[in-house]
């Protein structure tokens, strides 16, 4: 799955006691930036470890140190078996199944777990935290399976697969993507596997790191995709002889949602100086108002933007969190808690899937209007060169429709579908991992729907010649043509043109082309 680039990607990210930034997570997850622990983080980890070591020989039970886990929390573990307890925990919890999870997701997962370890609230040893940094820097990625996390008690199975690699067990992929045993990969990189001590196994798997990493990457992608949706909408409004009067600032100030105002501002700037628009700004144009899919684009896109802002607020709080159970408090207590529950992240992941589906839905409706001679204001049926002999973009819209239908199914919330586990000790779970997995598919689907709209709108703008489009939309059309995506003409093999446009959308080139005329868009 192609993803959008980070800006000014650092070659190394320092994990400190403070929260990582979203850009740092993207740099490590997607662009292979190395990782090092700060001195302050190392000192905090070392200081907190002493508290755990003092409790290791205590006759009083301490969860995860001298007891079993989950429903076995009342089972006392003798001191000579407590290190084995941690190793057994990781081995038994590395129980994922299904396809491999993407490299970028696993790297984000490991980095965010390391970030929590660096807060000094988990009680791990410094050498254990250091191996996470070493694996990330060496480009060694544990094999994590698609299925296994309920998003409560942390992303247990995915994190356990990572911890298993830290122990020198299980499978990994090296920096070139070659599948190796973890033992061989660590040896080749000069990394010594960790022999887990008291509390460490639990600390390595009790976090919401997988779902948070996927949330951060989705937000990064949507930042460009929602602006690209405004570009696509502007091209459709222009190509269908619609009006930009409805995007006037004073109209949107009457309903002061920030995202709506930003989207409308983008539409105004993208459509500025359009010869096509000016051609029908006359008394001969009798249309009173455009269809909802054209006229209401800022309202739909804007609501998605505001949802992203809320999700980013939640993500920022999670980045500042130290999630473990039990946790070592600032005053040195070791306390059980429920901060591992993924509900806050799961809820916004589901919310984002809903708005992604809706943005894709309105884009598909705008595209469909181009193809219908009853609604496209003088364009040929399906934008075909020789209608009847040629089908034009008829089936491109089918592709959009199929994706939109899938996005609607993916918008069904995962977070309301709790299934009890661990003999009813863990009787309400978040399903946040599942929410994150389906959001990744949703974001990819949105990019594909927008690509078909842009491809179709560009063809329509060419068919409006000799009328000239706005400079910004003309720049997008030129981008397509410069990348071998042809204009109007007889039917041809369309799938490669769709895929090429998808890449131009995903890597931000469509946005950059429009901004070459408008300046930075919102």
CA distance 65 to 77: 8
Q: What is the dihedral of CA 49, 141, 435, 23, to 10 degrees?
A: 80
Please enumerate in sequence order all residues whose Cβ is within 8 A of that of 201, keeping only pairs 6 or more positions apart, or say none.
85, 86, 87, 89, 90, 163
Closest to 72 in 3D by CA, of 91, 56, 85: 85
Q: Are 451 and 364 in contact, with CB atoms under 8 Å apart?
A: no
Q: What are phi and psi of 153, to 5 degrees?
A: 60, 20
Residue 224, token pair as written in the block: 């460009």
- Residue owning tokens 């607020």: 313
Q: What are phi and psi of 222, to 5 degrees?
A: -70, -25
Burial class (CB in 10 A: 0-12, 13-18, 19+), 9: middle
Per DSSP, helices labelled H in 240-323 are 249-253, 258-271, 275-279, 292-295, 297-319
CA distance 200 to 9: 32
Degrees (nearest 5) of the Cα angle 286, 288, 289?
130
Preceding omega of 326 cis (within 30 degrees of 0): yes
CA distance 96 to 75: 25
Quickly list DSSP for 396-410.
HHHHHHHHHHHHHHH
Q: Using N-to-C axis directions, what is the helix angle for 258-271 and 509-518, rounded to 10°?
A: 70
132 is known as an active-site residue? no
CA distance 85 to 422: 17
DSSP state of 11: S
Cα atoms found within 13 Å of the Cα of residue 510, Cβ hemisphere only: 32
CA distance 47 to 51: 7
Buried b (16+ CB within 10 A) or exposed e, 92-129: ebbebeeebbbbbbbbbbbbbbbbbbbbbbbbbbeebb
Enzyme catalytic residues: 63
């Amino acid at each position: 799955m192609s993803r959008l680039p980070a800006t000014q990607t650092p070659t190394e990210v320092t994990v400190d006691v403070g929260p990582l930034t979203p850009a740092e997570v993207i740099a490590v997850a997607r662009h292979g930036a190395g990782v090092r622990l700060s001195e302050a983080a190392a000192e905090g980890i070392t200081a907190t470890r002493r508290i755990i070591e003092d409790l290791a020989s205590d006759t009083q039970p301490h969860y995860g140190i001298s007891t079993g886990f989950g429903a076995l929390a009342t089972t006392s573990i003798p001191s000579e078996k407590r290190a084995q307890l941690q190793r057994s925990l990781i081995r038994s919890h590395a129980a994922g199944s299904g396809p491999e999870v993407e490299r970028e997701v696993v790297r984000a997962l490991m980095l965010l777990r390391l970030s929590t370890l660096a807060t000094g609230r988990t009680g791990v040893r410094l050498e254990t935290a250091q191996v996470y940094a070493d694996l990330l820097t060496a480009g060694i990625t544990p094999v994590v399976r698609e299925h296994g996390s309920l998003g409560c008690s942390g992303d247990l199975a995915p994190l356990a697969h990572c911890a298993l690699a830290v122990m020198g067990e299980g499978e990994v992929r090296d920096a070139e993507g070659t599948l190796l045993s973890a033992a061989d990969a660590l040896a080749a990189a000069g990394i010594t596997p960790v022999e887990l001590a008291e509390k460490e196994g639990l600390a390595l798997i009790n976090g919401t790191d997988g779902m948070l990493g996927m949330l951060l990457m989705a937000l990064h992608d949507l930042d460009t995709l929602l602006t690209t949706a405004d570009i696509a909408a502007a091209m459709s409004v222009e190509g269908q002889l619609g009006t930009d009067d409805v995007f006037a600032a004073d109209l949107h100030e009457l309903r002061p949602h920030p995202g709506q105002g930003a989207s409308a501002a983008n539409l105004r700037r993208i459509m500025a100086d359009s010869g096509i628009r000016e051609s029908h700004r006359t008394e001969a144009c009798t249309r009173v108002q455009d269809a909802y899919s054209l006229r209401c684009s800022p309202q739909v896109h804007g609501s998605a933007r505001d949802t992203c802002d809320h999700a980013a607020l939640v993500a920022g709080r999670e980045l500042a969190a130290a999630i473990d159970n039990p946790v070592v408090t600032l005053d040195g207590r070791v306390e059980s808690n429920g901060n591992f529950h993924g509900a806050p992240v799961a809820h916004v992941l589901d919310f984002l899937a809903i708005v992604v589906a809706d943005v894709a839905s309105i884009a598909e409706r705008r595209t469909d209007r181009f193809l219908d001679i009853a609604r496209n204001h003088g364009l040929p049926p399906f934008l075909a060169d020789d209608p009847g002999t040629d089908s034009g973009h008829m089936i491109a819209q089918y592709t959009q429709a199929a994706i939109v239908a899938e996005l609607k199914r993916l918008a069904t919330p995962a977070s309301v579908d709790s299934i009890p586990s661990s003999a009813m000790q863990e009787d309400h779970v978040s399903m946040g991992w599942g929410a994150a997995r389906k959001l990744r598919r949703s974001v990819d689907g949105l990019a594909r729907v927008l690509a078909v709209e842009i491809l179709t709108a560009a063809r329509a703008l060419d068919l409006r010649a000799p009328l000239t489009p706005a400079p910004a939309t003309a720049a997008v059309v030129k981008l397509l043509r410069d990348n071998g995506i042809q204009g109007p003409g007889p039917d041809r093999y369309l799938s490669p043109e769709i895929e090429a446009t998808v890449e131009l959308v995903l890597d931000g080139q469509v946005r950059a082309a429009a901004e070459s005329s408008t300046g930075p868009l919102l």
